[in-house]
């Protein structure tokens, strides 16, 4: 049986081709009939030619669909179930999966790469279906739920790691804050926990980049109680979206961002910076904006050397977190956060196109004409 699929042909060149419908290769596989597929910002690295890769594979790691076939070892899903997939298969068997570190699953390969065809097609093969798929909840629109494949959990993870880092500082017996506050525990009707929470909420957090992942990170930080989130970008409509979430928008082409941060922190710098852009300039800026002992949480896809040295980090005592999100591990918490913010994010998808118009979708997304593109299959 033949199907339509969006194929990567080279830089700035994708097109719809006829391919064979995928089949069960391993008994842990499922075949999903795709209903909706998203175009993700991380795919622009490949599309723009920045990420060197072979050609000829089917694109897409964001998709929702109906289970069409299952292997004999698939236990959690049946033919006819409506499912949403995370961006990379999860085996549930390896050491990393058992620790909840599903982002480092030994079987993990991203959909839409030369190693695993993606979901911008009429059908897609899903390895390790029990760990990779989730049943579609009834209370979310599919155009919003597509964010749960990658971008919302990624933003959620970036923000959560930054906030957890600040929490650890405030609660650690190694910090003077902890020692000072513990001596006054219970005074004036406030507990040490109350004071730590107040200090956390009053932290200044910067998000560098207000594209889809950045907006999700900002939504998460605000939902977790951070009162001052500075949203940095150069695209005004992105900054307007960030402002709707309660962030303070700063256009770096119009403002001196370092001075803006210092003016809000008595000259110290940001308590935490979430970096979602994935280029050296953004990472360098993140480092410069941080106060000493600050938290840098990067979920941007970096391919270059770091723009600062080990000595720079030593002298500033910063804590850094890098890497991809364990989507399966954070899925339920991130989904609840998405529910809480759906009234703001419900119009985030700006372009719904047919699969046949995928090339147009990539062009619009690459040129920033579209905020988020989904393909109806």
**Start and end residues for every CATH 3.90.180.10 domain found in the chain:** 2-150+326-376
Q: Class of 153-322 per CATH?
A: alpha beta
Task: Dig out the tokens for 16 from the structure.
Answer: 């719809």
Q: Where in the chain is the domain with CATH 3.40.50.720?
A: 153-322
C-alpha pair distances (Å), 342 with each of 71, 87, 145, 147: 35, 21, 10, 11
**Selection from 174, 163, 79, 95 nearest residue 129 by Cα:** 79
Classified as helix, coil or strand, 231 is: strand
- In three-state secondary structure terms, 56 is coil
pLDDT in tens for each of the 377 residues of the chain? 999 999 999 999 999 999 999 999 999 999 999 999 999 988 998 999 988 889 999 999 999 999 999 999 999 999 999 999 999 999 999 999 999 999 999 999 999 999 999 999 999 999 999 999 999 998 999 999 999 999 999 999 999 999 999 999 988 777 655 555 555 555 555 555 667 788 898 999 999 999 999 999 999 999 999 999 999 999 999 999 999 999 999 999 999 999 999 999 999 999 999 999 999 999 999 999 999 999 999 999 898 899 999 999 999 999 999 999 999 999 999 999 999 999 889 888 999 999 999 999 999 999 989 989 999 99
Q: Which of 335, 332, 334, 326 is nearest to 92 (CA)?
A: 326
CA angle 273, 276, 282 (to 5 degrees): 70
Measured CA to CA, the distance from residue 334 to residue 330 in angstroms comes to 6
The CATH fold of domain 2-150+326-376: Quinone Oxidoreductase; Chain A, domain 1 (3.90.180)
The reported pTM is 0.91
Q: Quick one: CA dihedral 127, 130, 132, 138, positive or negative?
A: positive
């Amino acid at each position: 049986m033949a199907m339509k699929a969006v194929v990567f042909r080279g830089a700035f060149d994708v097109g719809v081709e006829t391919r064979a419908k995928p089949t069960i290769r391993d008994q842990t596989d499922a075949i999903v009939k795709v209903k909706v597929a998203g175009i993700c910002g991380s795919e622009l690295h490949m599309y723009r030619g920045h990420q060197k890769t072979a050609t000829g594979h089917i694109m897409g790691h964001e998709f929702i669909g109906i289970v069409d076939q299952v292997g004999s070892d698939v236990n959690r899903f049946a033919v006819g179930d409506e499912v949403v997939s995370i961006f990379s298969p999860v085996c549930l068997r390896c050491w990393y999966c058992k620790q909840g570190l599903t982002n480092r699953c030994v079987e993990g390969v991203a959909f839409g790469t030369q190693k695993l065809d993606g979901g911008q097609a009429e059908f897609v093969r899903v390895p390790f279906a029990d760990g990779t798929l989730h049943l579609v909840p009834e209370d979310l629109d599919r155009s919003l739920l597509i964010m749960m494949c990658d971008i919302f959990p990624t933003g959620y993870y970036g923000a959560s790691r930054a906030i957890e880092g600040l929490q650890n500082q405030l609660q650690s017996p190694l910090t003077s804050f902890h020692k000072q506050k513990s001596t006054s525990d219970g005074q004036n009707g406030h507990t040490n926990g109350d004071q730590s929470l107040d200090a956390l909420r009053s932290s200044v957090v910067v998000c560098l980049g207000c594209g889809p992942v950045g907006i999700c990170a900002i939504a998460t930080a605000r939902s977790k109680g951070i009162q001052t989130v500075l949203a940095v970008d150069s695209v005004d409509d992105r900054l307007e979206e960030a402002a709707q979430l309660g962030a303070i928008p700063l256009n770096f082409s119009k403002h001196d961002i370092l001075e803006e941060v210092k003016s809000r922190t008595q000259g110290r710098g940001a308590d935490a910076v979430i970096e979602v852009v994935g280029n050296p300039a953004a990472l360098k800026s993140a480092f410069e904006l941080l106060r000493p002992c600050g938290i840098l949480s990067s979920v941007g896809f970096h391919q270059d050397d770091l723009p600062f040295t080990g000595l720079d980090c030593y002298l500033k005592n910063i804590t850094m977190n890098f890497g991809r999100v364990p989507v399966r591990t954070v899925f339920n918490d991130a989904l609840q956060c998405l529910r809480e913010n759906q009234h703001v994010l419900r119009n985030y998808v700006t372009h719904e196109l047919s699969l046949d118009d995928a090339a147009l979708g990539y062009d619009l997304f690459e040129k920033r004409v579209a905020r988020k593109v989904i393909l109806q299959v």
